[in-house]
Structure 1
Amino acid sequence: MDPIVSTDSLAAFCERAAQFEFITVDTEFLRETTYWPRLCLIQVATDEEAVLIDPLAPNIQLAPFFALLADPKVTKVFHAARQDIEIFVKLTGAVPHNIFDTQIAASVCGFGDSASYDSLVRSICKVELDKSSRFTDWSARPLSDKQLSYALADVTWLRDIYRELRQQVEATRRWDWVEDELATLRSIDTYVVRPELAWERLKMKLNRPRDLAALKVLAQWRERRAQETDQPRSRVLKDDVIAELAAQRPLTAEAFEKLRAVPRGFGRSSAAAEIMALLKDVEALPKSALPALPERYRGPSPKGAVGDLVRVLLKAVAEQHGVAARIIATSDEIDALVLDDEADVPALKGWRRKLFGDKALAIKHGRLGLAATRKGIIEFEVNQAEAAE
């Protein structure tokens, strides 16, 4: 099938697609050398047809398709939707209305925490996909017949997967599980990167408030520069370079040359001049203006006996409900709730709290016990008076 390359043809398809209850959607894009993903192909299917849309075709306008994405009457079905939606948010400024993610649905139906599309096609549709075209150059034209067939398969089998998973979600009454996960995908904050918060994604242990102040301004500078020049963050500055700059805070070109992580000669670049100006501002900050370091926890280790019991509970709950343990809580989340009853983690919110979080806190405070039986792990209430003796 030849891709749609004209606005009129696209508008005609979108008019037909708007009459259906749902459409399946996927994209092909490139991002290896850019900050923003470059959209190369859009795949869409209804119950009656599947089409390819070429966003790189001369003079094509994607407005009819964007209007379809915004139509609340039509469910837009994706698999692992986050990167696809990020592209549409960049192009339209809005998250598509009425979205459904089959990877999320699969996770609450016992297919694992990150089920791939081809694994679901294999499990549900009993078909083995040819994925050899996955990493081809989607910006090159013309696209090969093999590429076109591969791209179409990403939305045609998705129709059957959606129907099957929807039935399973309804049968298990886990719509609240799915809705909790979809809430993140529906929030535009998921896709809009604020440079002033870029430092939060850097997992760096810092011992001095001035180091943290430097890290914040450096991460913000890198994020803005990457966005403005459309380069990957690592091409602007690698994470290890930011860490060393935050700790050493060089203020001269000569000082740059003494740093191990910084490329030789970088200290005399225009980028280094901007960085030195930022670091001079950091050095000039009074102590009262420096950010506070996170408080260090000085209580029992979450890796101790209490954490072990909570992990046993997690495994038992996951087995009982037929889902991957990681869907319910991660190891870091268990550490957090052991340290803090009010930890801001998914395990203590929504359906996860009902299923696991409240029980985890009850174990932590001695109100719930676990016992091993031939049938597996069982829970029992602890008599507080006896426990105190």
Structure 2
Amino acid sequence: MSITLHHGDIPADLTFGDAVAVDTETMGLSLVRDRLCVVQLSSGDGTAHVVQLTRDYDCPNLKRLLADPAVLKIFHFARFDLAMIRRSLGVVCAPVWCTKIASKLARTNTDRHGLKDLSRDVIGVEISKEQQTSDWGAETLTEQQLAYAAQDVLHLHRLRAALQVLLAREGRGDLAEQCFAFLPTRAALDLAGWDEVDIFAH
């Protein structure tokens, strides 16, 4: 495993191929109150790039990558990350793939779809969530925080491949793709105030 920390933005010549794993770290889970602090990226080759963002979010190279329609963005619980990225960076991420939605569609034998359980059950990888609620707005990130941020993206490519097999087995691949396509709109609804409202209900 290799972790590279970037301050403010990624280098202009850094590429991730046709699919990049993405995650975010924030000061909390409120889309109204809390600040986006870190975006981590991986091409699935055992390397992770952790971007510690500045408060002005001046990161044109990162924004270009996240908005690139030729690059698939793989998330776990994409709904929150997409909304936070859209609010803070002004970027609509698409196309996207969400391992949590895929798990909920394919693994109906369990109600445990968090990244820790999913990684253990599907690809046999144990990950720690110990640093999840640490101070991501700190001026200097600790080695433990960097390792935590990295592990949240290092395995998403493998998880996607395994979940694609399960979705195909259960005949739900097309349904999953339609859900993924709707995710940017779901994130926009959250930002517009419909986060707890089911607009499809009676």
Question: What corresponds to 1:122 in structure 2?
Answer: 120
Q: Work out the CA distance in 1 between the residues paired with 2:153 and 2:200.
A: 36
Higher-RCO chain (CA-CA 8 Å, sequence separation at least 6): 2
Q: Which protein has the bigger strand share?
A: 2
Residue 121 (structure 1) shift: 0.8
Residues 169 and 138 of structure 1, relative CA distance in 2, 3 Å threshold: same
Residue 170 (structure 1) shift: 2.8
CA contact (8 A) 1:25 1:155 kept: yes
Residue of 3, 6, 16 corresponding to 1:4? 6
Residues 33 and 68 of structure 1, relative CA distance in 2, 3 Å threshold: closer
- Residues 47-67 of structure 1: CA distance to partner in whole angstroms, max 9, x if unpaired? 33311011038x873111111
Residue 113 (structure 1) shift: 5.3
Q: Work out the CA distance in 2 between the residues paired with 1:53 and 1:171.
A: 37
Q: Which amino acid aligns with 1:53?
A: V
Q: How does 1:297-316 map to 2 (within 5 A)?
A: none
- Residues 240-264 of structure 1: CA distance to partner in whole angstroms, max 9, x if unpaired? xxxxxxxxxxxxxxxxxxxxxxxxx
Residues 178 and 69 of structure 1, relative CA distance in 2, 3 Å threshold: same
Over aligned residue pairs, what C-alpha RMSD do you find? 2.9
Over 6 Å off, 4+ runs: none
Question: What corresponds to 1:190 in structure 2?
Answer: 189
Residue 44 (structure 1) shift: 0.3
- Residues 108-167 of structure 1: CA distance to partner in whole angstroms, max 9, x if unpaired? 111545600000111122122222111111111311111111110000011211111122
Q: Which amino acid aligns with 1:74?
A: V
Q: Work out the CA distance in 1 between the residues paired with 2:18 and 2:178.
A: 22
Structure 2 unmatched ranges of 5 or more: none
Q: Which amino acid aligns with 2:66?
A: L
Determine helix, strand or coil for the equivalent of 1:82. Answer: helix
CA contact (8 A) 1:79 1:102 kept: yes
Structure number, greater radius of gyration:
1
Residue 182 (structure 1) shift: 2.4
CA contact (8 A) 2:68 2:94 kept: yes
Residues 129 and 33 of structure 1, relative CA distance in 2, 3 Å threshold: closer
Q: Which amino acid aligns with 2:126?
A: E
Residues 180 and 81 of structure 1, relative CA distance in 2, 3 Å threshold: same
CA contact (8 A) 1:5 1:60 kept: no
Residue 344 (structure 1) shift: 4.3
Question: What corresponds to 1:158 in structure 2?
Answer: 156
Percent of aligned positions with the same letter in both sequences?
A: 26
Residue 32 (structure 1) shift: 6.7
Q: What is the aligned length?
A: 197
Q: Which protein has the bigger helix share?
A: 1
Q: Work out the CA distance in 1 between the residues paired with 2:71 and 2:31.
A: 32
Question: What corresponds to 1:35 in structure 2?
Answer: 32
Residues 191 and 89 of structure 1, relative CA distance in 2, 3 Å threshold: farther
Q: Which amino acid aligns with 2:71?
A: V
Q: Which amino acid aligns with 1:3?
A: L
- Residues 253-287 of structure 1: CA distance to partner in whole angstroms, max 9, x if unpaired? xxxxxxxxxxxxxxxxxxxxxxxxxxxxxxxxxxx
Residues 90 and 146 of structure 1, relative CA distance in 2, 3 Å threshold: same
Q: Does 1:63 align with 2:60?
A: yes
Residues 190 and 182 of structure 1, relative CA distance in 2, 3 Å threshold: farther
Residues 149 and 189 of structure 1, relative CA distance in 2, 3 Å threshold: closer
CA contact (8 A) 2:8 2:53 kept: no
Q: Does 1:26 align with 2:27?
A: no
Q: How does 1:358-369 map to 2 (within 5 A)?
A: none
TM-score if structure 2 supplies the norm length?
0.84
CA contact (8 A) 2:66 2:91 kept: no
Q: Work out the CA distance in 1 between the residues paired with 2:72 and 2:162.
A: 15
CA contact (8 A) 2:57 2:89 kept: no
- Residues 339-384 of structure 1: CA distance to partner in whole angstroms, max 9, x if unpaired? xxxx9449xxxxxxxxxxxxxxxxxxxxxxxxxxxxxxxxxxxxxx
